Amino acid sequence: MDVTLLDRQQATCPLELCASSVPLFQSYLGSGPIVELKRPEAYLSGDGFHEFVYFPVGGGTEFGDSEKLNLVPPDAAPGYCISRTSSCQMTAFHAAAMKEEREDMILEKMESTPGSGSRESFTKRKAEVVADRKSKDKRIKGELEGESEVKTKCSTQVSRNSSKENSKACEVRKPDYIHVRARRGQATDSHSLAERARREKISKKMKCLQDLVPGCNTITGKAGMLDEIINYVQSLQRQVEFLSMKIAALNSSAEFNVENLPIKELPSYVANFPAAAKLPAMPNLTCFQLNSMQKEAVNCMLNETMHPPLTATEGIASASVSIPEQALSSSTITQLQPFSTWNMDPQGLYNLYNMGFH
Amino acid sequence: MNNPHHLNPTSLKSRFTTRFLRALTKIRAQKPISSSSPTEIFRRYRRIKVAADKSMAYSVRSRRIWSRAMLWKLRSRSYRRQDPCSGRRSGKTSQAIMKKSSNENTTTRREDGVGFVEEADELRQLVPGGETMNLCNLLDETAHYIKCLTTQVQVMKKIADFYSF
């Protein structure tokens, strides 16, 4: 594979630097996927993917800070560069040192008399690149990821110096890659585009879910979002269980007949309750005049099916906050005002309810 | 009482409320009010929970994958209770269907390629019928399911408040 890449490299890019430097690199790397050095101009000519590892050849003006480390699969077509980007954690001194090192290296390559110290460090870095690249091969193969995804992946990579211009260059080059891939006869074009479309759809849906689930504006990243969604769905399901248990317990102690309720009117009446009414915590159920047996039942149901009621209350409180308020008429508001407090005596509220219906 | 801010009679909330209240009255009519042993209350709780799920699923009809899955689960459960033989039959067909769909969809799951398999699987277990969805559909269904659950919680909370006074 190395040889064929070499051949293709030399055939398509007759740069002296490449021709002379590749065998040197070979000697440094030994076996393994080829790591090629190219001039930035050739790189800009439209080869490569936006996932790449790049070693800038030019002078120190191109060094800067950026956050991307892009890797490219070893079996990529000829003419891809290996570029390395650095994280911003590099200190100025270190950056300068690296710069010098690299410049020395590059000059030495051109003169084909490399220094020992820089060569070793260079080899080490190359080895790391190779190792990184190997670990990412399977994920990268056949996949074209969006810029943002690449950035999140690469921000955890080894820090290196590189140029911002190169990262910009690869962004500019992105539209060209389609033609490049077509030129190379790669069949993954439609697949990768479809993959990208799918990813965008999924991220759009995640954004919608972010609006639905309260309190997840701070969380970035899909995994955290999914965890939040899972927690929210679980809490909602637990709330439903808790409420059905509550209705069951209260059902048996209700003083009025449900059959008397005009069922068609009830939905609007129920809807007009102030939405801010919160469910009391477990201890407050005593105010509902449960007898001891019912309390017991409630307790064992809670132990059996749910987490501690505190979490349920928190979940319920958050849910009530997130539920949009229904429009209330002024008359019903004045009528229902007492409903918002839990300390109302049951008889008074019962009278109010009757008034509301007759 | 003339309420100018009437609820939309065709909204999910009103549909669910009417169905759920009807089910509640049925449940109350079945058992005498005086019984208040823990087991009785527990049984009633189960019935109310099933009624809530059923009401919600019927309110959504078959428009959503999760509602279809929930309706199917409820129906098969009721068949099993009525007739043990038919339950066995429906159990077999249900297993066959689930196996087939899971075989079809394990490949889609692997092809997701976004790397959230664990969380996605957990979400699939939460959302009814989620085992047969790829990530794209799963997120859609989750959004609608969350919306319906919040409606359910809101209505049940108000009913519970209602009953408690």
Distance CA A74, CA B164 (A): 70
Read off the pLDDT band of A59 (50, 70, 90).
Answer: very low
Distance CA B5, CA A328 (A): 6
Read off the pLDDT band of A238 (50, 70, 90).
Answer: very high
pTM score of the predicted model = 0.47
> CB neighbours of B65 closer than 8 A, spacing ≥ 6?
B129, B132, B133, B137, B141
Say if A136 falls within a structural domain: no
Above 80 in pLDDT, residue A235? Answer: yes
* Distance between B12 CA and the closest CA of chain A, angstroms: 11
Distance CA B163, CA A294 (A): 15
Say if A178 falls within a structural domain: no
Domains of chain A: total? 1
Above 70 in pLDDT, residue A23? Answer: no
Instruction: Give the number of other Cβ atoms within 10 Å of residue B39's Cβ.
Output: 10
**Residue for token pair 């890019």:** A13
Q: Identify whether the C-beta of residue A277 lies closer than 8 Å to the C-beta of residue B157.
A: yes
End-to-end CA distance of chain A: 88
Domain encompassing residue A222? 192-247
Instruction: Give the number of other Cβ atoms within 10 Å of residue A285's Cβ.
Output: 20
DSSP structural state of residue A264:
T
Q: Maximum distance among all alpha carbons in chain A?
A: 101
Contact A230 B119 (CB under 8 A): yes
Task: Going residue by residue through chain B, which has 165 residues, state the pLDDT in tens, using 9 for 90 and above.
Answer: 555 555 677 888 888 888 888 888 888 787 665 566 788 888 888 888 888 888 888 888 888 888 888 888 888 888 887 776 655 555 555 555 555 555 554 444 444 556 677 888 888 888 888 788 888 888 888 899 999 999 999 998 888 888 777
Contact A258 B28 (CB under 8 A): yes
B25 touches A at CB < 8 Å: yes
Phi–psi pair at A54, nearest 5 degrees: -130, 135
Contact A301 B42 (CB under 8 A): yes
Q: Residue A149's Cα: distance from chain center in Å?
A: 8
Nearest Cα to Cα of residue A38 among A52, A25, A54, A51? A54
Helix axes A309-322, B135-163, angle to 10 degrees: 100
Contact A271 B114 (CB under 8 A): no
Distance CA A356, CA B15 (A): 22
DSSP structural state of residue A85:
-
> CB neighbours of A225 closer than 8 A, spacing ≥ 6?
A206, A209, A210, A213, A216, A219
Distance CA A202, CA B137 (A): 9
B88 touches A at CB < 8 Å: no
Strand, helix or coil for residue B42? helix
* Distance between B14 CA and the closest CA of chain A, angstroms: 6
Q: Identify whether the C-beta of residue A202 lies closer than 8 Å to the C-beta of residue B139.
A: yes
Say if A225 falls within a structural domain: yes
Say if A181 falls within a structural domain: no
Nearest Cα to Cα of residue B145 among A315, A233, A238, A324? A233
**Residue for token pair 């939905």:** A267
Window A:275-304, CB contacts with B under 8 Å? 275, 277, 279, 288, 291, 293-294, 296-298, 300-301
Q: Provide the residue count of chain A.
A: 358
Above 50 in pLDDT, residue A225? Answer: yes
pLDDT digits over A82-102, tens only? 444 444 444 444 544 455 555
Say if A233 falls within a structural domain: yes
Above 70 in pLDDT, residue A73? Answer: no
B127 touches A at CB < 8 Å: yes
- CATH code, domain carrying A211: 4.10.280
A188 touches B at CB < 8 Å: no
Contact B160 A279 (CB under 8 A): yes
Nearest Cα to Cα of residue B98 among B143, B128, B123? B128
Above 80 in pLDDT, residue A47? Answer: no
Torsion sign across C-alpha atoms B23, B25, B29, B32: positive
Q: Identify whether the C-beta of residue A10 lies closer than 8 Å to the C-beta of residue A19.
A: yes
Nearest Cα to Cα of residue A287 among A245, A343, A336, A337? A343
Say if A221 falls within a structural domain: yes
- Give contacts of A227 with chain B, Cβ < 8 Å: 119
Above 50 in pLDDT, residue A104? Answer: yes
Cα dihedral value B136, B140, B141, B145, nearest 10: 150
Say if A46 falls within a structural domain: no
pLDDT given at position B2: 53
Window A:218-247, CB contacts with B under 8 Å? 222-223, 226-227, 229-230, 232-234, 236-237, 239-241, 243-247
Say if A209 falls within a structural domain: yes
pLDDT digits over A171-213, tens only? 555 566 667 666 666 556 788 888 888 888 888 888 888 888 8
ipTM: 0.81
Q: Residue A287's Cα: distance from chain center in Å?
A: 46
